[in-house]
Amino acid sequence: MPPQTQRKLYKDYPNVIEEAKKTYRHITENIHKEKHLGLARADEATRCDCSYSSGVDEPSVACGAGSDCINRFLYVECNEGECPCGDACQNRRFKQRSYAEVDLICTEKKGYGVRAKQVIPRDGFILEYVGEVMSDEMAEKRKTAYRQEGRTHFYFMDLQKGEVVDATEYGGLARFINHSCKPNARVDKWIVGRQLRLGIFADRQILPDEEVTFDYSAERSGTTAQRCYCGEDNCRLFLGKDDSELVLEEEPHEMKKADRVPYFLAVLQLTLSKEPKIFRRQLRRMEICTVTEVWKEFVNRNGLSMIRRYLQHFISEGFENDDIVRLLKVLCRIPVTNRAPVVVANIERTFEDIVKARKHPEIRRLIALLEKKWKDLPQAPLIKRALTPATPASTPLSNGKRSRSTTEDIDKPEASSSDDLRSPKRGRSSSEEPQEQLKTPESEKNCETDSKRSPSSSKNSPIYKDDRNTSLNSHTNTSRQDSSLLTASSGGYRKNGHDTSDSYRSHRHRHDARNPDDSRSGYYSNPSPSPRKDYDVRSLHDSWRPKRYSPQKDDNDRGNSSSEANSPMKKESERPKYESSRDFYEGSRSSYSQYRSPHSSTVDRSSRRFDPYRRSPPNDSRNGVESPTKTPPPPPPPPPSHPSPQSDDFPAPQWMRNPNWTESKDDNGKISWVNKFTGERTSQKIKAMIDTTFKTPEGIPQGLVNAKIEESLYRQRQVEEKAAREAAEAAAAKAAKEEAEKAAAEEKRAKEARAAAEAKRIKMARKEKAANYEAMKSKNVITFDTTEAFRDEYRKYVTENAKKFENQLSVELYASQCKKCADKAVEKELRSINEEDKKSKRSTQAKFVLNDYLRRKLSNFVTSYFEALIAKQSKAKGKAKEE
């Protein structure tokens, strides 16, 4: 439990419950829009095994928090009348509305909120979240309508798959519970009767005057991303589910500026094979993009190669034909004006693979169209490599220790540039390098021509120049990456027909690093406001995405452009080289895993860790690029211009660093670095250095990419852990349920056996009773002859009425031992004899089976009966005589 001092108490806020209640209609139970909605899909309550003796047991024994109540354990409420604990049952909190005492307050930024008015123990039931239960479709329609109405607060909560509780119009007090990234309550789903219901339960002890909050991310149905004002230190900045989903629901904006292209490509690269949803969004952006400048930039930045990778991925990953068709249609729209980018991307080779793999007619038609369109494009001429010496200003690390020109950086083997690393002849002088051999007089001439041009104007992009042949050669060490693209790529392409897009990239990266004024990178030239404070795939690349801020960074950090000039980031020789997006991603992963266990000595980290000096093994064997050696060469010593990895005066501006790493001081004042997602801790700043020094092929600081990767891995891990936890919980619940079912079945069997034994016993008892009775009967049978009892009268009477009583009626009466019953039976029997007599006018002879008492009793009856009878007869006779 966190110390109480850390908890914010809303003591002085007035209770606004009456005011708030005017904003909706208060209900106490869910309203089901359709009959079938809100029904639990699991079994209902079984009779639990709890037992409770009032005055003897603790009250909680009666299905309370401490009990072993199987229903409670399974989040099922006990049914009234079934629970063995009867009225004492404590597992009927929804039914009995056993809510905690709360009231409402008006918060500063979140609207109304719920405030506890009592101590609520951990796991205590606070409120039920009631509202209208509806299908997803209906909820979606409502969301759209609410958005259009301009509502700011949303009240949707997922109930179960395809069903949502909407508390907007109808609801309870729980609808006012706000979100927090560090909540004190949670939402649990309970089965009550046949229904599924949502309850808010305390996740920890809640004090009076604390605001009750839960985490919307798990429970609430998405609307649009809303800024979170929970104010917690771990605040995720937005409400609701993973905001990627929220944002992705909307139509993306058209990309209108060429300087967004690097971000755009970086997203594609990062998400290849990882996040198809984001890819489809990017695809959509490509589909709607109509700005020629953007497409030019896309092609210049080897976007075709990126498309090739996606196409390859689609074939191998068994994607829908539809994705391929869409991508091919985008390709058809891309304004390619010469073959260089097509060849560099080696995309036609991929077309062959697609045609082999997919028989889809539209795919084939589009590919044929593209092949035809690109076949006749002008060829790009060879361009020599730029060797113009760099001015000191152009080298970011010109601190005297290591002031090499960019060209030296490119050519000098020790510099570990990507070309050097790639070349089997590592260590050769620049004049020996293959690219140098591609020099032609024409390309040299063009190079001279182009060196006079403006270095970064996109109009000078060689591919789009009308004067293509000359512009293609534009290249100096200060020229922008577009030119280097063609320098490297056309060289590779002409030389051996291989895909040289990687070498192209390597060159381009160097340019990225060397050109602090390259406005397109967005990270070097203009740290404020364009550099984002935190790196997120979406925020980095897409202008539509709401900007996130990182609390660790401040404006000073952000604007620290002066330190950029000396930033080791600009040293390209340490920058990681990636052969493909996969390498790129995994390289980053490695760097992540390197820091997972920085102190582990048992792991051979050299094989796993991200090594910025490492030569990336080419992995696209189809492109014919083979790795010259299987094992990468040992890393060259770190450049002297860098601060020592252990040094604490790391000069990189804060905003460039991986924002996940924050500084913390131990008791001795020693500074260490802690990763907020991975929890790793390191006293060295090499991590931050690597992060800030290296850039991805698209010119994004590696640290920021790592940050995103760490974050996504962290989130992925969280999801996996949650899934594992849920699976374990589900398994435990299942096992418990099975156990309970087994126990119930056993109980049922035992009950049946007991019932059968009881039935047998009763049968035996009856049999015995019957036998006893027979015995008793044989002992007690007497024949009570009425003629004997009242011989004279009877004879007389019979003689007088001989005709009437000619038939003898014999009645056998069995009477029990019970006096009352016997009286009744005898009475009844006599009555019926009387009736019979009246009806048939027959003589009566009663035969009785009697005990002593009845014998006496009956004789009295019979006597009185016959007396009455005779009296009646004689009276009737007298009357007749008189007449």
Which residues bind to ligand SAM, rule: CB under 6 A?
Answer: 109-113, 152-155, 175-176, 178-180, 226, 228-230, 239
- What torsion do the CA atoms of 436, 437, 443, 444 make, to the nearest 10 degrees? 60
> HSE (CB half, 13 Å, CA atoms) of 869?
26
CB of 20 to ligand SAM, least distance (A): 7
Q: What's the min distance (Å) between Cβ of 588 and ligand SAM?
A: 32
- Please give the structure tokens belonging to residue 286: 């490509």
**Residue 244 C-beta: closest distance to ligand SAM, Å:** 18
Prior bond of 529 cis (ω within 30°)? yes
- The CA distance from 208 to 444, in Å, is 80
CB of 164 to ligand SAM, least distance (A): 13
Closest CB to ligand SAM among 185 and 228?
A: 228
Looking at beta carbons only, is 228 or 689 nearer to ligand SAM? Answer: 228
Of residues 132 and 512, the one with the C-beta less far from ligand SAM? 132
Positive or negative CA dihedral for 287, 290, 294, 296? positive
Q: Which of 684, 294, 283, 201 is nearest to 520 (CA)?
A: 294
Shorter beta-carbon distance to ligand SAM: residue 200 or 387 = 200
By C-beta, is 17 or 39 nearer to ligand SAM?
17
Q: Name the minimum Å distance from CB 152 to ligand SAM.
A: 5
In the complex, the smallest distance separating the C-beta of residue 621 from ligand SAM, rounded to whole angstroms, is: 52
**Residue 174 Cβ vs ligand SAM, minimum distance, rounded to whole Å:** 8
CB of 197 to ligand SAM, least distance (A): 17
Inter-CA distances, 291 with 77, 258, 284, 297, 521, Å: 61, 8, 14, 10, 19
H or E stretch at 708: helix 702-780
Cβ proximity to ligand SAM: between 102 and 283 the closer is 102
In the complex, minimum distance from the CB of residue 26 to ligand SAM, in angstroms, rounded to a whole number? 13
What whole-number distance in Å separates Cα of residue 263 and Cα of residue 266?
5
In whole angstroms, the minimum distance from the beta carbon of 183 to ligand SAM comes to 10
For residue 859 the two structure tokens come to: 């004789």
Taking CB atoms, the residue at the shortest distance from ligand SAM is 111
Nearest approach in angstroms of CB 303 to ligand SAM is 39
Shortest gap between Cβ of 161 and ligand SAM (angstroms)?
Answer: 21
CB atoms within 10 A of CB 641: 18
First to last CA, the chain: 112
- CA distances to 794, 799, 808, 847 from 805, rounded to whole Å, are 11, 9, 7, 17
> What is the number of H-type helices and E-type strands within the chain?
31, 19
Cβ–Cβ < 8 Å for 876, 868 = no
Q: Which residues contact 456 (CB under 8 A, 6 or more apart)?
A: 479, 480, 515, 517, 518, 519, 520
- Which residue, 157 or 740, has its beta carbon nearer to ligand SAM? 157
Torsion on CA atoms 500, 502, 508, 514, rounded to nearest 10: -130
CB count, 10 Å around CB of 375? 10
Parallel, antiparallel or unpaired: strands 125-129 and 195-202: antiparallel
Two structure tokens written together for 638: 């770190």
Which helix (H) or strand (E) element contains residue 664? strand 661-665
Q: In angstroms, rounded to a whole number, what is the distance separating the alpha carbons of residues 629 and 213?
A: 58
Q: Alpha-carbon distance 64 to 60, whole Å? A: 4
